[in-house]
Amino acid sequence: MAGNSFGNIFKLSTFGESHGKALGGVIDGCPAGVELDFVTINKELNRRRPGQSEIVTQRKEDDSVEFLSGIFEGKTTGTPIGFIIVNKDQKSKDYSHIQNSYRPSHADFVYDKKYGFRDYRGGGRSSARETVVRVVAGSIAKMLLKDVKINAFVSSVGEITYDYQNSKVNFDKIEDSIVRCPDKKTSEEMISLIKSIKKNGDTVGGVISCIIRGVPVGLGEPVFNKLHAELGRAMLSINAVKGFEFGSGFKGSSMKGSEHNDSFNASIFKKYV
Amino acid sequence: MAGNSFGNIFKLSTFGESHGKALGGVIDGCPAGVELDFVTINKELNRRRPGQSEIVTQRKEDDSVEFLSGIFEGKTTGTPIGFIIVNKDQKSKDYSHIQNSYRPSHADFVYDKKYGFRDYRGGGRSSARETVVRVVAGSIAKMLLKDVKINAFVSSVGEITYDYQNSKVNFDKIEDSIVRCPDKKTSEEMISLIKSIKKNGDTVGGVISCIIRGVPVGLGEPVFNKLHAELGRAMLSINAVKGFEFGSGFKGSSMKGSEHNDSFNASIFKKYV
Amino acid sequence: MAGNSFGNIFKLSTFGESHGKALGGVIDGCPAGVELDFVTINKELNRRRPGQSEIVTQRKEDDSVEFLSGIFEGKTTGTPIGFIIVNKDQKSKDYSHIQNSYRPSHADFVYDKKYGFRDYRGGGRSSARETVVRVVAGSIAKMLLKDVKINAFVSSVGEITYDYQNSKVNFDKIEDSIVRCPDKKTSEEMISLIKSIKKNGDTVGGVISCIIRGVPVGLGEPVFNKLHAELGRAMLSINAVKGFEFGSGFKGSSMKGSEHNDSFNASIFKKYV
Amino acid sequence: MAGNSFGNIFKLSTFGESHGKALGGVIDGCPAGVELDFVTINKELNRRRPGQSEIVTQRKEDDSVEFLSGIFEGKTTGTPIGFIIVNKDQKSKDYSHIQNSYRPSHADFVYDKKYGFRDYRGGGRSSARETVVRVVAGSIAKMLLKDVKINAFVSSVGEITYDYQNSKVNFDKIEDSIVRCPDKKTSEEMISLIKSIKKNGDTVGGVISCIIRGVPVGLGEPVFNKLHAELGRAMLSINAVKGFEFGSGFKGSSMKGSEHNDSFNASIFKKYV
């Protein structure tokens, strides 16, 4: 298996299966001298954790990260940051009922076909639990990128959509909502939809929106590794993500050139010239 | 500038600006012994060419590719395939009117900011003309991937949408339509919409759909470099692309899990076990 | 810090400092189904370990490896193999005497200059202890490369040189010698030289020779990534290695073309045609 | 074939065969604004050229480079620099005598075995002529690295050795000697040795030494991609190179630790603290 790394200068490599001893990662390329806030890292891990509220899966993954290298006296040293998240309940439950069958909508069949080898203990490497490693690396990246503000929230659940304007989203309200939609009324509708669907043993999809501010002009490489191409790749590598759009997105496809034109904003532009 | 390469095993590196001497590419990793059909390569170049019909830009780019290495007696040798497409009219027109101003919706400002250096002759490296190199590499890739069938067509222009089912698209009809929508009626509506918008000096967006058949099970890497993550990155690296979806796409976000479930198709499955 | 990975298809990334919690590694790209012999892995770790005999440093590094992922029922699964070697005595001794000075012949000064940050607990990331991770990965690589036979031995210590012919080295005798020279007489001379130098509190250099058999024809890439260029890079990345030669090596520089010519060996050649 | 690129930030990819239309390269990552001195680039190409003097092969390769991209008004633009060197006499001579046999000491057999395909027109991709591309990239790199002084010279031919001290080599004398040894007496001995060997239709090996000054402290990555490991890989990737040493080199292997110790030079050190 290849493709377990992401990034060039700040590069994360991940390892681990949902039912192995531990998941872990190595961050190569984090500069020296970044002060780490371990409380925040754990808070981010808790935000990812299943079982946080009544509207999500009740599976419990009580995660804490152990750093093994790259940190001295609370600061990064510039050397690779190795870390693990121990799987507290690594004992496979009784998996004998799926040992001889593939689960639909899962990677079981494809892994078996690709590697000629089956680890039948749950999702293994294809489990979305792998993202726990990305959360640790992402929260360190945020500590490094002080001036870049990244805020994501749920903007759709099923047919219920929060119709926001970028400049008017109240990011402080995101965490107030168990579904993480900053608009109170929409959030309540989303929660009640999820509850009613959950009652029938079903689930429902949604859309996450992310607003990034403070990005330096010219970030990303201009041809293949455009900023949005790399962002798209990152998002599409998360389990169950089926689409990615940025800027005007698919809506832009029905706009005229005259409407879509990206004219200079004189007041912002002045800052750069 | 980094990021001028794409791919790992079959890797394309591109170079060239819209108003330089030539655009070109190097394909590293193409196996030896692939028989190249140069007529098809030129046909693909013609399909990309602006100025083909009355509904597109009338700019003329009459391109032909010259291969410099990696081919012997009509077959690839396994060594890197270097090639160039000479810019026939490389003389910059009079660009003095834009030499001191940045065009909106273009990369002029960002390039200047990022590199501290301005090549004011048109789009330069940021011109969509760079895709001419991708067309050459893509058509060689298709000759290598004999069993994989890749067909793309226009499925939306503005609000006009061709509502197709994957298994019913008649790929043979794509080239019959100057807008490249295989459904005759929709194609005519799209063309007449474009004509009316063009009359007003405006343009309109659209959506391209692509159906890929014959893909081996397990293609792509399971974590970061998932097949669809790499495809997404590739598509999002094309100028003006604002979104990418695959499978159920954004529609999937409003579906219930029970509807979205990807159950095994017994007759297809039988082939693999 | 970049550059903590080696290899393309079978890729090792390493992390950890000599006085941190653990050293570790991630092997990405090991095929599924390789049966691992954990006894052999530990034997290889013991062969690397300082303090094995009276002629080497008496520092104790009693290492054992803990695998965290990529293995199921004793076989590799194809997913990344994460592993750690806990630093048993991670408590830094009293390093206050070197906290304010750089040790000559060490990387202390250069690290401080490069990263603007000093981890003064011993060598840290620049410690040769990092090679413990390479030993684990190397022994797994050997299990994968069953037909390739790799044997290294000490061929020089100071001025004492074992003047061997490739086809006559008795690899079975290497481990009989604490200095790991398979020729008994030379080995004894080397040992007695080291002992006499050690008595004076000094050390002495040496040369390691390696004979690799069973290599498939055409291994390596023909231009920049030639087999011997990659081997050279690997060897030169080990602490204190100052030179690398292969084939005729530096001796070849004083040979005539007619002597150096690499003619085909008819009996070997027959196997391939 | 993979492995036709070298470098990470300033990356060169090369293509072309000795008897194809052209050799060429793409430099990705050269910063914008570097003023190129085309006279110097051509001078460097002439220094590489076979047939310069009576002591080398009389084959003629009269090379000139044509730049296709990445340069505007004599300066680099930051975009990839594509360039080609046309093979002036690309018509294969009559190669029918080697079409059915492999030349010893050449890559013919190995290429055929590896790629299952034979381009029998001379060395093809394995020809040392590929280095012409490296010369172009190297001379641009030198224009970028103004403060780093790189000087190479011939220090041995056969058994004749110029026994120099780093600080006393007169780099200005290198080009005065057709064998490029800056010591007049040794140079004459080398030339007369080569002439006498050439008379017998034979050739002889040699050693090239290189002294690099002005290198910033901390250049290179500390673990796998050490500066000398990368330099070694680069040198070992040049045809016919059989060994690489740096610093004390193989001589260091017979030194005692007390002699080999790399103590700080107070006067140099002062500059950094």
3-state SS string for B7-48: CCCCEEEEECCCCCCEEEEEEECCCCCCECCHHHHHHHHHHH
Nearest by CB to A68, from C22, C111, C117: name it: C22
pLDDT score, position A97? 73
Q: Which of A205, A225, A246 sits opposite B254 (nearest CB)?
A: A205
Cα distance between the two ends of chain D: 48
Give per-residue burial for D58-67: e unless 16+ CB within 10 Å, then b.
Answer: eeebebebeb
Residue with tokens 């084959």: D59
Contact D203 C113 (CB under 8 A): no
Nearest to C237 among D109, D226, D264 (CB): D226
Cβ contacts (< 8 Å) between A33 and chain C: which residues? 115-117
Taking each continuous run of H as one helix and of E as one strand, the counts in chain D are 8, 11
Residue D57 banded pLDDT, cuts 50, 70, 90: confident
CA nearest C246 in D: which residue?
A: D242
pLDDT at C63 (0 to 100): 85
Model's pTM, two decimal places?
0.94
* Edge-to-edge strand ranges of the sheet holding D206-213: D160-161, D149-157, D206-213
> How many Å lie between the alpha carbon of A250 and the closest alpha carbon of chain B?
6
CA C76, CA C70: separation in Å to the nearest integer?
6
Contact: D245, C246; criterion CB under 8 Å:
no
Residue C265 has what pLDDT? 81
The residue of chain B nearest to residue D26, with distances taken between CA atoms, is B15
Q: How far apart are CA D222 and CA D219, in angstroms?
A: 9
- Could you tell me which of A3, A268, A203, C97 has the C-alpha nearest to residue B223? A3
As to burial, measured by CB atoms within 10 angstroms (0-12 exposed, 13-18 middle, 19+ buried), residue D267 is exposed
Q: What mean pLDDT do residues A57-70 have?
A: 84
From A28's Cα to the closest Cα of chain C, the distance in A is: 6
Q: What is the mean pLDDT of residues B147-174?
A: 96
Of D15, D81, D119, the CB nearest to B72: D119
What would the DSSP string read from start to end of C231-257? HHHHHHTSTT--EEE-TTGGGGGGSBH
HSE-up of residue D74 (Cα within 13 Å, Cβ side): 4
Token pair listed for A187 = 């959030």
Q: Which of chain D's residues have a Cβ under 8 Å away from the Cβ of C264?
A: 102, 104, 109
How far, CA to CA in Å, does B26 sit from each of A42, D10, D226? 46, 17, 29
Q: Which of C5, C22, C115 shows the shortest C-beta gap to A32?
A: C115
Name the residue among D16, D28, D114 with its Cβ closest to that of B68. D16
Q: pLDDT tier at C270 (50, 70, 90 boundaries)?
A: confident
Q: Tell me the chain D residues in contact with residue B80 when contact means C-beta distances shorter than 8 Å.
A: 1, 4, 13-16, 125
pLDDT exceeds cutoff 90 at B120: no
Closest CA to D11 of D81, D71, D69: D81
Average pLDDT over residues D7-15: 95
B52-60: list long-range contacts, CB under 8 Å, 24+ apart: B52/B178, B53/B178, B54/B178, B54/B195, B55/B178, B55/B179, B55/B191, B55/B194, B55/B195, B55/B198
Do A17 and C75 meet the contact criterion of CB atoms below 8 Å apart? no
In whole angstroms, give the CA distance from residue B80 to residue C196. 56
Q: Do A28 and C116 touch (CB under 8 A)?
A: no
Our measurement of the distance from residue A257's CA atom to the centroid of its chain's CA atoms, rounded to an integer in Å, reads: 33
Q: What is the mean pLDDT of residues A75-80?
A: 94
Per-residue pLDDT tens over the stretch D98-127: 777 888 888 888 888 898 877 777 778 999
Distance from CA of D95 to the nearest CA of B (A): 14
Report whether A83 contacts A101 (CB < 8 A).
no
Give me the pLDDT at residue D90, please: 59
Band of pLDDT at residue A93, cut at 50, 70 and 90 = low
Which residues in chain C have Cβ-Cβ distances shorter than 8 Å to D111?
218, 222
What residue type is assigned to position D10 of the chain? F
- Which pLDDT does position B116 carry in this prediction? 86
What's the mean per-residue pLDDT of chain D?
Answer: 91
Q: Which of A22, A117, A125 sits opposite C68 (nearest CB)?
A: A22
The per-residue pLDDT for range C242-259, each reduced to its tens digit, is 999 999 999 999 999 999
What are the counts of helices (DSSP H) followed by strands (DSSP E) for chain C? 8, 11
- pLDDT band for position C149 (cuts 50, 70, 90): very high
| Structure confidence at residue D45 (pLDDT) | 94
CA-nearest of C82, D5, B171 to A21 is C82
Q: Do C250 and D243 touch (CB under 8 A)?
A: yes
Tens-place pLDDT, residues A167-188: 999 999 999 999 999 999 999 9
CB-nearest to C68 from A9, A81, A84 is A84
Q: What is the CA radius of gyration of chain B?
A: 21
D82 contacts in chain B (CB < 8 Å): 15-16, 22, 24, 84
Note the helical H segments in chain D.
38-48, 96-99, 108-115, 131-144, 184-199, 227-236, 257-260, 266-270
Query: Which residues of A fall within a CB distance of 8 Å from B226?
Result: 3, 236-237
CB B61 within 8 Å of CB B129: yes
Sort out which chain D residues have CB atoms less than 8 A from C258's CB and list them.
Answer: 202
Q: Kindly state the tokens that stand for C121.
A: 């607990």
- Cα torsion angle, D251, D253, D259, D265, sign: positive
Residue in the block written with tokens 């050690």: C198
Kindly state the greatest CA–CA separation across chain C.
Answer: 66
d(CA B160, nearest CA chain A) in Å: 8
pLDDT tens figures, B163-208:
999 999 999 999 999 999 999 999 999 999 999 999 999 999 999 9
Which has the higher per-residue pLDDT, B123 or B126? B126
pLDDT surpasses 70 at C61 = no
| Distance of alpha carbon D8 from alpha carbon B108, whole angstroms | 26
Alpha helical stretches, state H, chain B = 38-48, 96-99, 108-115, 131-144, 184-199, 227-236, 257-260, 266-270
Chains A, C: CB contacts under 8 A, how many? 159
For residue D79, the chain B residues in CB contact (below 8 A) are: 1, 4, 15, 17, 119, 124-125
CA-based nearest distance C161→chain D, Å: 10
Backbone phi, psi, residue C33, to 5°:
90, 5
Please give the sequence-ordered ranges of beta strands (E in DSSP) within C3-80, or none if there are none.
Answer: 5-6, 11-15, 22-28, 65-67, 71-72, 75-76
Chain D CA closest to residue B84 = D68
Q: Do strands B206-213 and B243-245 pair parallel, antiparallel, or not at all (unpaired)?
A: unpaired
Q: How far apart are CA A41 and CA D142, in angstroms?
A: 45
Chain D nearest-CA distance from C66, in A, is 22
Contact (CB<8Å) C111/D222 = yes
User: Looking at residue A269, what is its pLDDT?
Assistant: 73
Q: Which of A105, A104, A61 lies closest to A205 in space, CA to CA?
A: A105
Q: Please determine, for residue B268, whether its predicted confidence score (pLDDT) is greater than 90.
A: no
Of residues D4, D20, D68, nearest to B22 (C-beta): D68
Pairing of strands C5-6, B243-245: unpaired
Closest Cα in chain D to B121: D72
Q: Which of C110, C130, C248 sits opposite D223 (nearest CB)?
A: C130
Task: State the pLDDT confidence band at D91, using cuts at 50, 70 and 90.
Answer: low
**pLDDT(A197) > 90:** yes
- Judge: A223–B237 Cβ closer than 8 Å, yes or no: yes
Report the C-alpha gap between C83 and C133 in whole angstroms.
9
The residue ranges of DSSP E strands in C147-267, in sequence order, are 149-157, 160-161, 206-213, 243-245
Secondary structure element (H or E) that encloses residue C43, with its range: helix C38-48
Q: Which residues pair with B23 in a beta bridge?
A: B85
**C15, closest residue in chain A (CA to CA):** A80
Which residues on A lie below 8 Å from B179 (Cβ)? none
Residue A133: pLDDT over 80:
yes
Q: Say whether pLDDT at D92 is over 60.
A: no
pLDDT reading at C163 higher than 80: yes
Q: How far apart are CA A134 and CA C168, in angstroms?
A: 53
- Of residues B10 and D100, more confidence is placed in B10
Model confidence at A24: pLDDT above 70: yes
Residues of D in contact with C237 (CB under 8 A): 223-226, 229
Residue A241 has pLDDT above 90, yes or no: yes
In angstroms, the CA C51 to CA C160 distance is 23
Helix or strand holding residue A143 (H, E): helix A131-144
Alpha-carbon torsion, ordered B85, B86, B88, B91, to 10 deg: 130
Phi, psi of B16 (to 5 degrees): 115, 150
Between chains, do D114 and C217 touch, taking CB under 8 Å as contact? Answer: yes
CA B145 to chain centre: 17
Residue C190 to residue C193: CA distance in whole angstroms? 5
Interface touch B2/D79, C-beta < 8 Å: no
Mean pLDDT, range D4-32, rounded to an integer? 95
Which residue from D203, D232, D256 is facing C233, i.e. has the nearest CB?
A: D232
- Report how far residue D24's alpha carbon sits from residue D38's, in angstroms, rounded to the nearest whole number: 16
Cα distance between residue D22 and residue D130, in whole Å: 10
Residue to mutate among C5, C18, C23, C26, with most A CBs inside 10 A, is C26
Say which amino acid occupies C196: S
* Position D50, amino acid: P
Instruction: Please give the average per-residue pLDDT across C222-248, as a whole number.
Output: 95
Please tell me the predicted confidence (pLDDT) of residue D263: 83
Test D250 with C254 for CB contact under 8 angstroms.
Answer: no
Residues 6+ apart with CB under 8 A from D89: none
Residue B93 predicted with pLDDT over 70: no
CB contact under 8 Å between D80 and B13, yes or no, is: yes
Q: Going by C-beta distance under 8 Å and a sequence separation of 6 or more, which residues neighbour residue A209?
A: A152, A153, A154, A155, A164
Per-residue pLDDT band for B94 (boundaries 50, 70, 90) equals low
What's chain A's average pLDDT?
Answer: 91
Q: What is the pLDDT of residue C248?
A: 92
Tokens 């509506």, located at residue: B189
The whole-angstrom separation of Cα C149 and Cα C215 is 8
One-letter amino acid of D128: A
Using a CB-CB cut-off of 8 Å, the residues of chain D touching C130 are 223
| C interface with A, Cβ–Cβ below 8 Å | 1-2, 4-5, 9, 11, 13-17, 20-24, 26, 28-29, 31-33, 66-70, 72, 75, 77-82, 84, 111, 114-117, 119, 121, 124-125
Tell me the three state secondary structure of residue B249: helix
DSSP state of C217: T
Across the range C95-122, mean pLDDT stands at: 82
Are C20 and A68 inside 8 Å of each other by CB? yes
Cβ contacts of D2 on chain B, cutoff 8 Å: 9, 11, 28-29
